[in-house]
A = this chain, B = another copy of it.
Amino acid sequence: MSDVAERAGVSKMTVSRVLAGRNVSQATRERVQKIIDELGYVADAAAGALSSGRSEFVAVLVPSLSSSNFSDTVRGLNAALGPHGLQLLLGDTDYRLEQEELLVRSMLRHQPRCVALTGGRHTEATRMLLQRAGIPVVEMWDLPSDPIDTVVGFSNSAAARAMVRHLHERGYRRMGFIAGASERDRRGHDRMRGYVAEIRALGLGEPRVIRLGDSPITMSHGAPAIGALLDTWPDTEAVMCVSDMSAFGAIMECHRRGLSVPGDIAVAGFGNFEVSWCCQPSITTVSVDAYGIGVRAGEMLLAALADREAGDAHRRKAVKIDFTVIARDSA
């Protein structure tokens, strides 16, 4: 920067102002900008952050970057925060809370302006770290009872219950549920709990749950799972799956076995992934606006940042996101 300043015959401060788009006379600005371009000068963000005491980072943690759900949420966050000059520092927790803690710790070193987490469960240390950092935090995709700060999510349990009621209304009675064997995928686990609760509430007998494979289960788990379900309870009329991925796998297995869906057995998914509306038959599912969660979460963080800037008190808020049961051909 000294270099640029010298060549332009101005002080470093003026160069800094040009870069920041502050008050600089037209003539000076153009002259400085020209030198910057010629030299290909790129300002050092670390020095800027150190000096100003504020970085442009936003720490974002998702369980998996390969799930289109979460990558949509990340896109939403980026859409909301990018225009404000904020840079996402992305981390993939692989559905593990210890990994989340590790990443939070490492990201906090970069003094992020705020943090977006997925889910409402975290290690005690994670909560502590975040608390001490004293920056806005948003938890997404869940409605925790003891939020850290702000929340943008919905009840996975309630969404699953809505699907059970939907199937019940369509006349299905003997329903099963397919899920992963572990609780790693908390939101999937919550859906399963919702299914069980609603089955009980409707007096539909004992829940028929097949738990197979490490959560979150994907397409390939759907086939063996529905196989196991039909082996255990051959008279099952409908199957809810923890996600559209496993529902798809289940439907393909039905094709292989010569079972018609929904004629012989109905199958429902969760998430409204692209496969759910491209599949033949199209898959009845629960739609959640993953991108919208990201956008809303970004907006909440922005608002918290603005409040803090203005010296206003920090209000914790919880934004409840809608979900919709989408009736299609498979159930």
Report A's interface with B, CB cutoff 8 A.
40, 42-47, 49-50, 55, 65-66, 68, 71-72, 74-75, 78, 87-90, 92, 105-106, 108-111, 128-129, 132-133, 218-220, 222-223, 248-249, 252-253, 255-256, 274-275, 277-280
Shortest A280–chain B CB gap in Å is 4
User: B residues within 8 A CB of A88?
Assistant: 90
Contact of A109 among B44, B249, B255 (CB under 8 A): B44
User: B residues within 8 A CB of A110?
Assistant: 45-46
User: B residues within 8 A CB of A133?
Assistant: 42
Bound Cα distance A258, B218 (Å): 28
Contact of A278 among B71, B129, B248 (CB under 8 A): B248
Shortest A192–chain B CB gap in Å is 22
Task: Determine chain A's interface SS by DSSP, over half rule.
Answer: helix
User: B residues within 8 A CB of A45?
Assistant: 46, 109-111
In chain B, what residue has the closest Cβ to A221? Answer: B278
In chain B, what residue has the closest Cβ to A94? Answer: B75
Ranked nearest first, the 6 interchain pairs of A and B with the lowest CB-CB distance are A45-B109, A219-B278, A66-B71, A252-B280, A46-B49, A255-B280
User: B residues within 8 A CB of A280?
Assistant: 252-253, 255-256
Sample (8) of A-B pairs whose CB atoms are under 8 Å apart:
A43-B109, A44-B111, A46-B50, A65-B71, A74-B92, A75-B92, A78-B92, A218-B274
